Every structure is written in C-alpha cells, then in structure tokens.
Amino acid sequence: MRRTPLRDFVIGLRGLALAAGISLCAASPGHAQEFERNIMTGGPTGTYIRIGQDMAALGAQCGLTLNVMESAGSLENFVGVRKRRNTQFGIVQSDVLEYLKTFEANDAEIQDAVRGVRIMFPLYNEEVHVLARSGLSGIRDLEGQRVAIGVKDSGTFLTASLILDILQVKDAERLPLNPDQALPKLQAGEIDAFFYVAGAPASLFAKADIDPEKFHLLPITEAPLLATYTETSIPGGTYGFQREGVDLVAVKAVLMTYDYDPNRNAYHRESCTTVSDFSSLVLNNMERLRETGHPKWKSVDLTALPPGWQVGSCVKAGMALDYAPECTKTAQPAPADSNEEYLNLLKQRLKN
C-alpha cells in the first residue's frame, strides 16, 4: 500500500489515540456535574470556529453547554470524532471524506479510522485560497517556489497536497506552516505563497493589512481539479487587497458525528441525546443562524449529502418532527422556519 498524506496522518493519530487510552469504549462522563459536550473546529481565525460558536450559542440558549475546541482542522477533527473522549462533533472537508472512501476498501488502518463515523449535516462551500506574491499568476507557477501547505493534521494540508499532485507541480518546497504563521512569512519575503481552505470571507484575510500591489489570490481553474472540487469565485472587494473577482475551487464543509448506541452504556446514551438535541436545534433555527451567525450559514444546504456516507441514527432521531430537546419542552419553542421542507428533502435523500 503506497504512502499518502492522509494515510500517514491516520496511522499517526491512531497510535496517539491508543497510547493515550482515548476511545469511545473507554470514555465515560465521569463525575462532572454536567455531561461534557465538545465540537472540534479549527484555528482561531478560521470559519470552522465561528460555526462552532454559533452552534454553542444555540445550545446555551437551551441550557446546553457545548465547548468549542480549536484544532489543526479537518483531519484531526475526523479522527477526534472517532477517538477523542467527549467529542460528539467535528467539522471536516468533503475532499477528506472522498479521499477516505477511495482508500477504505483496501486499507485496514483507514477502515478502523472511519468505523462508526457518520454525517450530521452538510454545511457550506469552503474556498481554496492561495495567497501569492505578485509575479505568480497561477498554481503551476508554484513550481520551484516556497509554498506553505498547512500543518499535517489539517484539511488545508491534504487539499494543498492533492492539488499540487494532481497538477504535477514539481519541485515546490512544501512547508508545513499553518496560515497564521504563513502570512507574516509571505509578507516578509520568506515564502512565495500559501494555501488556506476556509469559507469566504476568511477573517485572517479580512482583518490583515495585505498590500494589493505585492500580493493577490491565485485563480484556480485547471480542468483536472474539477472531478474533485467545485467551481466557484470570490467577488472583488471581498477582501481589501483583492479588487477584482477571482475564479477558484471549493470543497464542502461537513459536520460529522459518531453513531452512538444508546443501549450500550451511559456515555453512549448521553452522547446520542446530545447529537439528537443539536440536530433538532440546528434544523429548527436555520433562519436565526442565517440572520445572526457567520455569513456562510446563508449558503448551507442540509440536503447536499456527500455520496457514500450515512447519516447517524441519533441525527435522524433529532430530525423527527415530534422531537423536542429536553430544554425546549417547557420553554417557548423557536419557530420551525423551513423544518418540514428540509425534512421532506432529507428523507427523500436518505431513502436512496
């Protein structure tokens, strides 16, 4: 079996999880006054953490504490849902899921990594940003350049590695730097470009002082990428340094969970209830999320399920029209904006 960035990561994380004794079988709620709930997101300036915070705010209004955990990103989040104690949710890129499915059949390590992991909801498209110095006009110009591709347990790392490999960009020096580290190095002339997979507008770019005469986003329009990625564009003015629109590609962000068995033990029972509660809260508060949450909630399509992945049974329980989280049974219920419409579409998709 040939080595790949994802396989190396899965093997490494699996070893760390086993060494630390972290597993769903061993996990238990312990003696805490409130059952612990966690969502793994991303870095402090990314979109994932904002989505997690929006979900946590919904839970807080309902008396449910959801801890928003920073992480390196998609790869760590996926394995976290599978192995990390009290981690019921994680946000993952769709190309990570596609890559896992591609290698699952013939790789025992990846089979172990995906066992029990389920879809909760598809979310939004994440644009593949490549910020580069002036003089570089496209991805193939990165040949022989110093390119930051993200740390190894991030989704940006996998996406950048795949794009460079698919386009056969040779001799690029691939540096394992996260975007927060890469931006000042690019501005100082220590690197030539860096990848960042994040939903636009990404706060790292929106808040930074980036000279439009020296730096720009590279277009990504190469046909070989369209089998895996979605064509999209970032309008001019989205970022202060990018006056003109730029065509590029995107991946889908997906909220993942685990298929807990409420009959197995108290931990599984509490975790399943948590997944059902937050499924119901998100589904019944989509309009609120679109109005007050991160702008990416406006483009969420809960019916755009990735092929080949199952929706968790605890998720389906929370989607039932008559399901009510414990905290809403005596409180004023939130308006169910398009709940029934979504449910009908979801049920149709789940039958396939």
The pLDDT of residue 17 is: 47
Q: What is the pLDDT of residues 94-144, one digit of tens each?
A: 888 887 777 777 788 778 778 899 999 999 999 999 999 999 999 999 999
In total, the chain counts a number of residues equal to 352
Contacts of 225 by beta carbon, 8 Å cutoff, 6+ apart: 163, 166, 167, 249
List pLDDT tens digits, range 273-295.
Answer: 999 999 999 999 999 999 999 99
Question: Where do the domains of the chain lie, and which CATH numbers do they carry?
Answer: 5-125+253-351 (3.40.190.10), 126-250 (3.40.190.10)
- Share the mean pLDDT of the chain: 85
Please, are residues 173 and 143 in contact by the beta-carbon 8 Å criterion? no
CB of 306 closer than 8 Å to CB of 252: yes
Q: Whole-model pTM?
A: 0.79
Question: Distance of CA 316 to CAs 110, 244, 287, 350, Å?
Answer: 26, 43, 20, 10
Per-residue pLDDT tens for 32-89? 457 999 999 998 888 899 999 999 999 999 999 999 999 988 888 998 999 898 999 9
Q: Does the pLDDT value for residue 352 go beyond 90?
A: no
